Amino acid sequence: MKAKQILPFLDWARVYSRETAVSDLVAAVIVTIMLVPQSLAYAMLAGLPPYVGLYASILPLVAYAVFGSSRTLAVGPVAVVSLMTAAAVGQVAAPGSADYVAAATTLALLSGLVLLAMSVMRLGFLANFLSHPVISGFITASGILIAASQVKHILGIAAGGDTLPEIVSEVGVAMSTTNPYTLAIGGAALGFLFWVRKGLKPLLVKAGLKARAADLLAKAGPIVAIGLSIGAVVAFGLDGKGVRIVGAIPSGLPPFALPSFDAGLWLDLLPAAMLISLVGFVESISVAQTLAAKRRQRIAPNSELTGLGMANVAAAVSGGYPVTGGFARSVVNFEAGAETPLAGVFTAAGILGATLFLTPLFAYLPQAALAATIIVAVLSLVDLESIRRTWTYSKADFTAQAATIALVLLVGVEVGIVAGVVLSLVLFLWRTSRPHVAGVGQVPGTEHYRNVRRHQVTTRPDLLSIRVDESLYFANARFLEDTIYDAVAADPNIRNVVLMCPAVNMIDTSALESLEAIADRLESAGVGFHLSEVKGPVMDALRRSDFFEHFRGQVFLSQHDAVRGLA
């Protein structure tokens, strides 16, 4: 394996220039401004002290810059992984306890080791088992669940619940204890952030600012909301009026220490770590590939597994929790002009500076402002249009998507995504177990053969031409047998059957035995069985077996050759 495959930074480091450094520094400043409030907010979402989010945004960025293949992916805490962390760690430790923080760092280590193991075994393809409708449904439901869970902070009430019905019920019961000062801060922050997201950019453009600069300034809205809310707390002494604030935040370097190596804790957290790793990888690789395509760059999935794995290990040894590539901050990083992963290193330096010198200011940060930041961020993940589009296009995919959404909201995030994946696979097996099979005929005056039900074609009464539009494997082998037997039994004039295989990319052992059974049964009935348009790899597989030792039919290069050869 080449050194550049293990350490992708060797590729871009050799051509790094002063101009590139300036672009990376500018992007880092903008992303740092965005990432500081996000890190604090997402740590709170994970049930952790807010400063843990800062720790998770320093060393992981450096690790990813060394081992990751994307030049613009911004790694750190994200909403969905934070929610999954809270769900997993909440089952083994009490929120707010030292054991809870220790379990979160252990979860980061486990996630990192799972990702590294996947990289060694080159298992990046496993992400393909998460269909887009399932991922979209999972993210949409998670966004709704996260937003609902933050309402208690906006109202300043004590309420719990892990599912949407529980959250709504507890918020409804406790709503009478709403703190008006907390509601004022939370409501104002929400209104301001929603306005910034939709209304600030047009206003800045109208004032003469370029569209790109206006968009980047609008992305910095959360830092303004946090600054104003801190000022309000300090100016009016709102912390003494029931407004919950972040409180004292340790200053200084992140605590470098090893996570827990308790075997029982590892076993309890391993299933969640595997799920978080897979979901985080899918989210990260999707963002990385989208951004790389815009610059005609290449993403290496296994290098991404290594980069994300090392980032999570780095989070674990520096007091953080599981991280992955974030969509919003990666887009900002890209649009701000980042050229290389060194922009992430500069961002890490900015977060470190905030951790060292600005933590006293964050002590007066109201939790309601952080909750508003989370709500505005995650509601952008809710994609109702995707649900409508999936319903219109594929009822089967919609079923998996709807089941994922319902189970995430009503049961929990882990159950929801696992059920969505399982249902997607079951529906795939069901669909492919009944593949599209068409009788075909010749388009007059050509050598083309098309479906007799869709085109004006000519056929011969003694020849049955069938095209199967699916690979042949255990789930559909018997269906193909029954289809051919029924067609031959219904027409005594048939003397030859030709199975067209242009869409058959694979024939497994079960399907091979079915083909042998079809050939034997048709031969006993005085009907020949033949193949046409068999792909090279499929033909190679058939030759490796003993299929042709007893197959008495012919294999034709094209369907036209079959029709002429069997005349």
Which of these ranges, 196-200, 293-297, 432-436, 513-517, has the smallest mean pLDDT?
293-297
Half-sphere CA count of 458, side-chain side, radius 13 A: 8
Query: Which residue in 502, 207, 209, 191 sits closest to 372, CA to CA?
Result: 191
Q: Kindly list the domain boundaries of the chain, sorted by start residue.
A: 19-248+258-426, 437-565
- Which pLDDT score is estimated for 480? 94
Terminal-to-terminal C-alpha distance of the chain: 56
- Rounded to an integer, the average pLDDT of 184-206 is 87
- Which pLDDT score is estimated for 254? 81
- CB within 8 Å of 66: residues ≥ 6 apart: 7, 9, 307, 310, 341
Q: Which amino acid is at 561?
A: D
- Rounded to an integer, the average pLDDT of 539-550 is 92
- Rounded to an integer, the average pLDDT of 285-302 is 79
- Which pLDDT score is estimated for 427? 86
Q: Which amino acid is at 6?
A: I
Query: Which residue in 131, 138, 170 sits closest to 408, CA to CA?
Result: 138
CB 28 within 8 A of CB 350: yes
- Which pLDDT score is estimated for 5? 60
pLDDT tens for 235-274 read 999 989 999 988 877 777 788 888 989 999 999 999 999 9
- Which pLDDT score is estimated for 162? 81
- Rounded to an integer, the average pLDDT of 99-117 is 95
Which of these ranges, 164-178, 325-339, 469-483, has the smallest mean pLDDT?
325-339
* Whether pLDDT at 285 is above 90: no
What is the rounded distance in angstroms from the CA atom of residue 360 to the CA atom of residue 244? Answer: 16
- Rounded to an integer, the average pLDDT of 462-469 is 95
User: What fold is seen in the domain 437-565?
Assistant: Transcription Regulator spoIIAA (3.30.750)
Selected residue with higher pLDDT from 276 and 203: 276
pLDDT tens for 406-444 read 999 998 888 888 888 888 888 888 888 999 999 999 999
pLDDT tens for 520-544 read 999 999 999 999 999 999 999 999 9
For residues 340-374, one letter each, b for 16 or more C-beta atoms within 10 angstroms of the residue's C-beta and e for the rest, the string is bbbbbbbbbbbbbebbeeebeebbbbbbbbbbbbb
> pTM for this structure?
0.79
- Which pLDDT score is estimated for 266? 95
- Phi, psi for 472 (deg, rounded to 5): -100, 120
pLDDT band at 9 (very low <50, low <70, confident <90, very high): low
Sign of CA dihedral 31, 33, 39, 44: negative
- Rounded to an integer, the average pLDDT of 61-89 is 90
What's the mean per-residue pLDDT of the chain?
Answer: 88
Q: 193 vs 198, 225, 371, 497, CA distance in Å?
A: 9, 7, 11, 67
18's tokens: 């002063």
Among 35-49, 66-80, 328-342, 528-542, the range with the most confident prediction by mean pLDDT is: 528-542
- Rounded to an integer, the average pLDDT of 192-210 is 83
- Rounded to an integer, the average pLDDT of 93-119 is 94
What is the rounded distance in angstroms from the CA atom of residue 529 to the CA atom of residue 514? Answer: 12
Query: Which residue in 89, 32, 87 sits closest to 57, CA to CA?
Result: 32
- Which pLDDT score is estimated for 2? 57
- Rounded to an integer, the average pLDDT of 354-380 is 86
- Rounded to an integer, the average pLDDT of 348-357 is 90
**DSSP states of 334-364 as a string?**
HHTT--STHHHHHHHHHHHHHHHHTHHHHTT
* Whether pLDDT at 290 is above 80: no
Percent over 70 (pLDDT), the chain: 97
pLDDT band at 4 (very low <50, low <70, confident <90, very high): low
* Whether pLDDT at 322 is above 90: yes
